[in-house]
Amino acid sequence: MASLAQVLLPVFLLILVGVAAARTGLLAEPAVKALSDAAFLIFLPALLFGAIARVEFDRLSPGAALAYYGAGLPLYLAVLAVQLRRGAAVQAAVVQALGAVFANTVMLGIPVVRIAYGDTGLALLLTIVAVHALTFLTLSTLVIEMGAVARERAAAGRGSWRSAAGSLGQVVRASLLHPVVLPILAGLAWSATGASLPAAVDTTLSMLGSAAAPLCLVLLGASLARLDLRQGIATALGLTLLKSAAHPLLVWLVGAFVLRVAPLPLAVATVTAALPIGANVYLFAQRYEAQVGEISAAVTLSTLAGALTLPWLLLWMPGR
């Protein structure tokens, strides 16, 4: 499993770079916020648009994706409902639900699956990656925007059906123009044309998109340096258990016993679900100023957990 260690080590090193930069004063809080905004408004949209625009959806085999989302969506909704019932703010509830299911499918998932299952497994992973952001980030954006509109209506004391219709329109507008949803929809529209991206545009998007993951991890480390572990560790442990244990277990159960997915797609879906929390969840937390420290700790802790659990899972699920 030396190859797996080589995949995981850069993640920890990038986080440590962020910790060191914050501790030495190179990354002050205003700089972290400014860089987070740049990542959310420039680099992440380029990554999302480019990734989805390149996908040929009619050639994707759905088995792995059905198992992954057949378990992931109910888990997301369950965590969201529990957090809201406990009185959490909508933004905090959404960020925690996202942390329970949103995996590091690109920076870690692609090399891990390629090492374990070859090009066939990688093709199956891409069926999950293709709609990963489309599913979870779009849903999260919608819930947050609906919560914001609901708070505005409650503060204004509006309750008629006309104001409700206006609120729905406000949610739709805010969601469609969101820096996560808009590039996803634009990517889907481009993919539907069947045309390839112009070479210069494709290269530009790749360069911008490739900066998103390392920048997120450095910023995550900077936030981690300021975290009071006494306040954030319980949430981080809970999210790590959900992401590293509950999510892959549910995917395996749904895929094996409900959908009867073949061994290789089932293995790819389960291993993908066991991947650590994706750094994009940190960007969401930073953008909405909700659970930033807790998510930073959870991403780091789940990556540590993945270093221990993924080798055993790969041995247990060879995919043959």
Write down all domains in the chain, each with its CATH number in brackets: 2-316 (1.20.1530.20)
Helix (H, G, I), strand (E, B) or coil at 103: strand
Element at 285 (helix H, strand E): helix 279-288
**Average pLDDT for consecutive 10-residue bins of the chain (320 residues)?**
72 89 90 88 87 74 89 97 95 96 86 82 80 83 81 61 52 66 84 91 92 85 77 88 97 95 93 91 88 90 88 79
Q: What is the pLDDT of residue 161?
A: 43
pTM strictly above 0.85 = no
Half-sphere exposure of 158 (CA within 13 A, CB side): 13
Q: Which residue carries 């990734």 as its tokens? A: 51
Q: What is the pLDDT of residue 69?
A: 94
Cα diameter, the chain: 62
Q: Residue 138, by phi and psi: left (phi above 0), alpha (psi -120 to 50) or beta?
A: alpha
Choose among 306, 284, 315, 317: nearest CA to 9.
Answer: 306
Crossing angle (nearest 10°) for helices 212-225 and 199-210:
20
Q: What is the pLDDT of residue 107?
A: 76
Choose among 293, 221, 286, 290: nearest CA to 40.
Answer: 286
Contact 222, 20 (CB under 8 A): no
